[in-house]
Amino acid sequence: MLIGVPLETHAGETRVAVTPETAKKLIAQGHTVQVQAGAGVAASATDEAYRAVGAQVVDRTAALGADLVLKVRSPGDEECTLMKRGSALVGMLNPFDAAGLQRLADAGLTSFALEAAPRTTRAQSMDVLSSQANIAGYKAVMMAANRYQRLFPMLMTAAGTIKAARVVVLGVGVAGLQAIATAKRLGAVIEASDVRPSVKEQVESLGAKFIDVPYETAEEKEAAEGVGGYARPMPASWLDRQKVEVAKRVAQADVVISTALIPGRAAPVLITDTMVQAMKPGSVIVDMAAGKGPSGTDGNCPLTQAGQTVQVHGVTIIGETNIPALVAADSSSLYARNVLDFLKLVITKEGGLQVPMDDDIVAACLMTQDGQVRRKA
């Protein structure tokens, strides 16, 4: 099969969908891999590195005109016009972007969105959300440490003792757990909060303290269990009690890492204006939900500005919207392996495309086919 890897054109996107490592494996399987010139440069993968493993370095038209196009982000209008009707597309296509999916359907593409893969053991090796969130959790702490004008670890010096930084992590999914682990390695004292009681043991195993908010009704407990590995919206009664507990910890915190997202919905507000006002001057918030909040520019904090770092009430709020792209080489390496594993499900031994709808992963990831949007609402 002719596989194309175009340069990502989305603002700030530095990742690439195929690395020299995975290109070599695809070529060994008998495929022809065409990589657009410069596609991997921002991810530390040179054109020479692709040529060395047998890939062809081509122009944009050739890369997008392949039978199978591998991307990181969904193609725009101009990119869709360069893609062949009937060709296939694999990438992070945003399953909740109805207009974007319709654009892919109108272009006649058979498209697969990897974010839609079920959270099952079998799908773990192709779970792009987890692989990218892992890196984002690490980088969020490093960004906070860079902005925070004190040290993370406790230091005992001849000039006196420096206290360890207090870090609060809100939302303990993959990103949150990695943020806890990274902050711990840097010597911080950490507390973490999540609506799901099942993560308490994970938090404590990493050396952090879990901010416990008891459940008072069956409705609260049922919602807390989540669905498909994700949190569900919690009842207002529990959220009110959680806000009180979290507000106490945030007021004492030096750094807050906020990671709470609910797929297909606006990110919940966890850090209010009042809470930011109560924080110590010089504190840092990294809002990993930036750009996905109720207003479309905020995140878990209404003061967040997507794509910007701002100072409000003496607190630095980092609103980076694509943190994995700041660690492009490793993010691309993990993403490319996710893609490679997914391709095993949709490429036959003879090198043709197949769409086995009896496979739960393929069925979940299929977005468009035969000019129609196939995603189930």
Least Cα distance to 335 among 132, 176, 178 occurs for 132
C-alpha distances out from residue 282 to 3, 111, 190, 256, 315, Å: 49, 46, 18, 12, 6
The DSSP code for 42 is G
Q: H-type helices in the chain, by residue range?
A: 20-28, 47-52, 60-64, 77-82, 98-106, 128-147, 174-185, 200-205, 218-224, 236-252, 273-278, 328-346, 360-365
β-strand 209-210 against 284-287: which pairing, if any?
A: unpaired
Active site residue 375: no
Show the tokens assigned to 1. 């099969």
Q: Are 354 and 320 in contact (CB under 8 A)?
A: no
Least Cα distance to 129 among 174, 89, 182, 93 occurs for 174
Q: Of 29, 102, 119, 237, which one is the catalytic site residue?
A: 119
Active site residue 254: no
Q: Of 36, 74, 130, 178, which one is the catalytic site residue?
A: 130
Q: Of 127, 254, 287, 298, which one is the catalytic site residue?
A: 127
Least Cα distance to 129 among 228, 19, 270 occurs for 228
- The gap from C-alpha 301 to its chain's centroid, in whole angstroms, comes to 18
Q: Are 319 and 304 in contact (CB under 8 A)?
A: yes
Query: Across-strand partners of 353?
Result: 347
Active site residue 119: yes
Strand arrangement of the beta sheet that strand 284-287 belongs to? 209-210, 189-193, 166-170, 255-258, 284-287, 315-318, 309-312
Active site residue 29: no
Show the tokens assigned to 244. 């009180």
Query: Across-strand partners of 58?
Result: 36
Active site residue 127: yes
Cα separation, 233 vs 237, whole angstroms: 12
Q: Of 29, 124, 149, 205, which one is the catalytic site residue?
A: 124
CA count, 13 A, side-chain hemisphere, 69: 32
Among all residues, which ones are annotated catalytic?
119, 124, 127, 130, 230
